[in-house]
Structure 1
């Protein structure tokens, strides 16, 4: 099939490359001329493991190409995907649909013959109706269908998620569009991937509901972690205990500094605003958003407490800046809030991230960037592990302690074991468990 992908950012580029790898003929379109020029040279604008090779292979096979000219891609396409950004609208939390609306107008002008227009962008309920109205107004005579096909890609594992998905959700209101989408995703049948066909509005809401539920699960275990610290329980064992229940499951039960990224923060807020527009209360989601926002600064207070109640004039080493491993995405990363709070408390920050430092420089000021974890720890009064990159999971603890001015580690991802840190002489603070003070050889008492 011939596919046009409008938007060559994270979702558009991954989706376009994967569709091309299925054997479809894909043209990725973007208004950013520099991005398209880079892609034509093989320069990938985002960090996603395996994406560079996937793009190169399909460009070489003449199945994937790039252009700034929408009119070059759309007229011959059987399916045209809208994969543009829908950031949080400034001031009110609604999804900003300007780019979706503009894409719909341009598609209307360019399409020829029956076309399935697919919303891949994360959008509120009713956006498909809006897109259909825009196209119908511009081209009353056109033959087309508008479909919702939300993405469920995890940054750092996006290619695997696309090719071996838990599910594919397709919201289509007519049989002809369903047949086109079934053919588009037919290569997944070899993996027995379930394709769920729904109406358009149900598909749109499914995306928001999924992300809100996962954000709720993360926030729930973070609050349980706070209780564990007070009563002397271990949140990791609690999480294992409840995760063994098949009704709950083990995923998204790792206590930490709160969720961030390109999806959960904006999607939970957009769901809240959509519900308010329809007069429906979303009290659980509202609480999740509020608790998560507060958690990030609470993690900074945990660092201050570990440093004896003050970080004024102290050097704090930060390992991990991106919101999760295997991405360079800094959007709503907990590191931004934590570092900001520590700086306001008078701390000097040294930081290291395996791939995210260039993006971090756009978000953070007055931060000294290191060349590796040990350089970061040099002369530090405390080390804070914020993002659990594999490179941080097996550090040479003896070398780390030798580099530091004071042996204090605040592990916000519970990567290390308290006993191991104690053997190396660290005061070790984790999430959802009692701190272990090497100087006394025991855990801090409850209360």
Structure 2
């Protein structure tokens, strides 16, 4: 099968490499430097499987900055462009997806679009009507930053938003490129597929919020959060997974997807969905208060990334805590090896670890690392289990 991939972030690059094992793939991105790195076999993002795959000789993939060439090539065109949440509009900004369809359909009107970008409920149907075509399919993506390709090679499920022979063909295409050949496959309506994505991520945010509020209670009452979580998790219906407290849920997906789902609940009765969104603000406020109560003059922020082994810190919860600390007049310095000194103009970046430790009255870390063990008495973290 000939496949074109547009947008080479976590989702697009992982899908392009996955499919290039057995399909013929052309992958496009607007950023020239990214394409240049990929052509040299260098990954633009931190992901072990992606780094390994780029050094394979048997993949059938070409990286390009030519949009027209990419669109002309594919029987299927995968769209994986950003859909950031617009706080003013209270909705996803889907302009990049719409722009791709608008331009591509004029170049290759017979191709079928597979949208991997996260979109609002009913978006696919609206695009079909807007562009007078049935050749648009939504297929939600379920991956973790830093493990994007691995989660495609070993998918929890494959969901295609079309109940048809074509939908099965698309599902089979993804399945034959996975390592996990028994992954569940579900063909649904396109609108239901969109809802599956948003409800899945909102449930994950709910679970994070639940254990964070448990931790808030325990810390406020002088109790052992770890003991309580371990006891709660022994119930097999709850389990011991995805239960490690944090400074709040963050990253690229959960904050925006929960807000989008709340927006989709307009005129629909709800309590939980809104509470999930609001709970994250409450958690960050509580964390900030706990830090300020220690009366630090200088707070050192150890890493901005949300997860271990990741280089992505978009919408990380610790940045919200930093903003609150600055508003309270606290000086903030950052240790983050993946950024340049001038990245955060309002904060000082100190990427000499020893100097960072010496300069900080308190070091806050969303996830603890052993390189902080010699200044453990300075560290404030809610990481109890050493996992994401």
Fold in common (TM above 0.5): yes
Match of 2:70 in 1: 73
| Residues 1:188 and 1:9: Cα distance change in structure 2 (over 3 Å) | closer
Determine helix, strand or coil for the equivalent of 2:135: strand
Question: Contact 1:350–1:370 (CA<8 Å) still a contact in 2?
Answer: no
1:190, CA displacement in angstroms?
Answer: 5.1
Question: Contact 2:2–2:24 (CA<8 Å) still a contact in 1?
Answer: yes
Q: 2:363 aligns with which of 383, 387, 406?
A: 383
Larger Rg belongs to: 1
Determine helix, strand or coil for the equivalent of 2:177: helix
| Residues 1:75 and 1:195: Cα distance change in structure 2 (over 3 Å) | same
Matched, 1:133 2:129: yes
1:334, CA displacement in angstroms?
Answer: 1.7
Structure 2 stretches of 5 or more lacking a match? Answer: none
Question: Contact 1:25–1:64 (CA<8 Å) still a contact in 2?
Answer: yes
1:106, CA displacement in angstroms?
Answer: 2.0
Matched, 1:319 2:296: no
CA distance in 2, matches of 1:7, 1:109: 19
| Residues 1:363 and 1:148: Cα distance change in structure 2 (over 3 Å) | farther
CA distance in 2, matches of 1:268, 1:10: 20
Match of 1:412 in 2: 382
CA distance in 2, matches of 1:176, 1:50: 29
Q: What is the 5 A alignment of 1:367-446?
A: 367-372=348-353, 374-388=354-368, 392-393=369-370, 395-397=372-374, 400=375, 407-414=377-384
- The one-character-per-residue Cα deviations of 1:163-202 (angstroms, maximum 9, x if unpaired) are 0111111111432332243234223375311111211111
- The one-character-per-residue Cα deviations of 1:339-382 (angstroms, maximum 9, x if unpaired) are 22223333333322353x34x9545623232222x332114322
Question: Contact 1:4–1:27 (CA<8 Å) still a contact in 2?
Answer: yes
Match of 2:39 in 1: 40
CA distance in 2, matches of 1:192, 1:181: 12
Report the RMSD for the aligned CA atoms in angstroms.
Answer: 2.3
Determine helix, strand or coil for the equivalent of 2:299: strand
Q: What is the 5 A alignment of 1:66-145?
A: 66-111=63-108, 113=110, 115-136=111-132, 145=135
Determine helix, strand or coil for the equivalent of 2:112: strand
Question: Contact 2:122–2:191 (CA<8 Å) still a contact in 1?
Answer: yes
| Residues 1:188 and 1:408: Cα distance change in structure 2 (over 3 Å) | closer
Moved over 6 A (4+): none
Matched, 1:365 2:346: yes
Question: Contact 1:55–1:64 (CA<8 Å) still a contact in 2?
Answer: no
Q: 1:228 aligns with which of 202, 214, 218?
A: 218
Matched, 1:12 2:12: yes
CA distance in 2, matches of 1:168, 1:264: 20
Q: 2:324 aligns with which of 326, 336, 341?
A: 341
**TM-score of the superposition, structure 2-length normalised?**
0.91
| Residues 1:375 and 1:202: Cα distance change in structure 2 (over 3 Å) | same
1:396, CA displacement in angstroms?
Answer: 4.2
**TM-score of the superposition, structure 1-length normalised?**
0.80
Match of 1:436 in 2: none
1:50, CA displacement in angstroms?
Answer: 3.2
CA distance in 1, matches of 2:365, 2:299: 11
1:73, CA displacement in angstroms?
Answer: 2.3
Q: 2:314 aligns with which of 328, 331, 340?
A: 331
| Residues 1:136 and 1:299: Cα distance change in structure 2 (over 3 Å) | same
Question: Contact 2:301–2:333 (CA<8 Å) still a contact in 1?
Answer: yes
| Residues 1:244 and 1:106: Cα distance change in structure 2 (over 3 Å) | farther
Q: When the two structures are aligned, how many residues end up with a matched partner?
A: 386
- The one-character-per-residue Cα deviations of 1:40-95 (angstroms, maximum 9, x if unpaired) are 233433222332231232xx435111122232123332221111111012413201
- The one-character-per-residue Cα deviations of 1:124-154 (angstroms, maximum 9, x if unpaired) are 11121123224326xxxxxx63221111010
CA distance in 2, matches of 1:179, 1:287: 40
Q: What is the 5 A alignment of 1:184-333?
A: 184-188=174-178, 191-276=181-266, 279-305=267-293, 307=294, 310-311=295-296, 314-333=297-316
1:292, CA displacement in angstroms?
Answer: 0.3
| Residues 1:287 and 1:376: Cα distance change in structure 2 (over 3 Å) | same
Determine helix, strand or coil for the equivalent of 1:75: helix
